[in-house]
Copies of this chain bind each other. A is one copy, B any other.
Amino acid sequence: MKIGFIGLGVMGAPMAGHLHRVFGLVGIHTRTRSKADPLLSQGVAWFETPQALAQQCDVVCTMLGFPPDVHAVYFGPEGILAGAHSGLCCIDFTTTRPQLAKDIASQLTTCGGFFFDAPVSGGDVGARQATLSIMVGGSKTQFPIIQSLLEAVGQKVVYQGHAGAGQHTKMTNQIVIAGTMIGVCEALLYGVRAGLDLETMLSSIRPGAAGCWTLENLAPRILKQDFEPGFYIEHFVKDMEIALNEASRLGICLPGLALVHQFYRAAQNIGLGKKGTQALYRVLESLASPT
């Protein structure tokens, strides 16, 4: 199985590394060529375009940033689809629009290939440790072909349904996180202003009904005023915008998500777009009276 990988960012680089270690990569492509150096030095070939890479591969994996990046890499003049051939399998790990996943799937099917949307959760740590949760949409009959490949980068690989279902599942993940994030940030601000000892407070509330990953993993960073990513605010904003657009299309209201999205937009407005999602705390803090 000749595998290629496109997109060697914070997530893509370690994921490509795992695939190379387990299966051997045929070739790579990424926007900033210098990011490819570690894999090139291990003998992986560089390809100038997604099209050229697709022509030489059985499987092409992509891990990009925003939906327009995904669109360009697949549909662009030198994109993957321009190099598509019968039997080509593409897997997109990017969190992107469910409809875009469906469009790629449909186009690739026309070329005799097949496509899986396979967004991940678990962040840079999960990517480095190959412990990602991977939510897969696409053909059920063809899923077994790529399962072992996905298991080289993820710990929990679950087939979720037809094309786009991986993206939809990722959206539900992000919607829950929007809620836990504002709840935790507001609770910490309340605790600070009420004069509580925050560590002692956390020891009471963490084991009970308020317990959540965010309280466990991000509250301690907030207490240390550590707002580094983790997961970038600008990527979270993108995800929330996809979810809100989908919600409109699906005929549902998500008022909590809409509110949290606005406060994260505010975070971007005040220059926090490259900070971690826990920096929502700083937005709420900026709305409080002087102490």
Contact = CB atoms under 8 A, between A and B. Distances in A.
The dominant DSSP class at the A interface is helix
Nearest to A160: B200
A217 B210 CA distance: 11
Interface in A191-214: 191, 193-197, 200-201, 203-205, 207-214
A173 interface: yes
A158 B169 CA distance: 38
A165 B201 CA distance: 9
A208 B196 CA distance: 29
Nearest to A285: B252
B186 A256 contact: yes
A160 B198 CA distance: 9
Nearest to A203: B158
Contact of A158 (B156, B200, B251): B200
B250 A208 contact: no
Nearest to A216: B211
Interface in A74-120: 98
A133 B287 contact: no
A136 to B, nearest CB: 9
Interface string A160-202: 1100010011011111111111111011111101111100110
A263 interface: yes
A59 interface: no
A193 B171 CA distance: 12
What band does the interface of chain A fall in when counting residues whose beta carbon is under 8 Å from B?
35 or more
A172 B204 CA distance: 10
A207 B175 contact: no
A262 to B, nearest CB: 9
A194 B98 contact: yes
A172 B247 contact: no
Contacts of A254: 186, 189-190, 284
Contact of A213 (B211, B263, B289): B211
A122 interface: yes
A210 B289 contact: no
Given A204-B160, A205-B121, A208-B173, A183 B180 contact: yes
A215 interface: yes
B190 A243 contact: yes
A180 B209 CA distance: 9
A144 interface: no
A260 interface: yes
Contacts of A135: 204-205
B212 A156 contact: no
Contact of A205 (B133, B159, B214, B247): B133
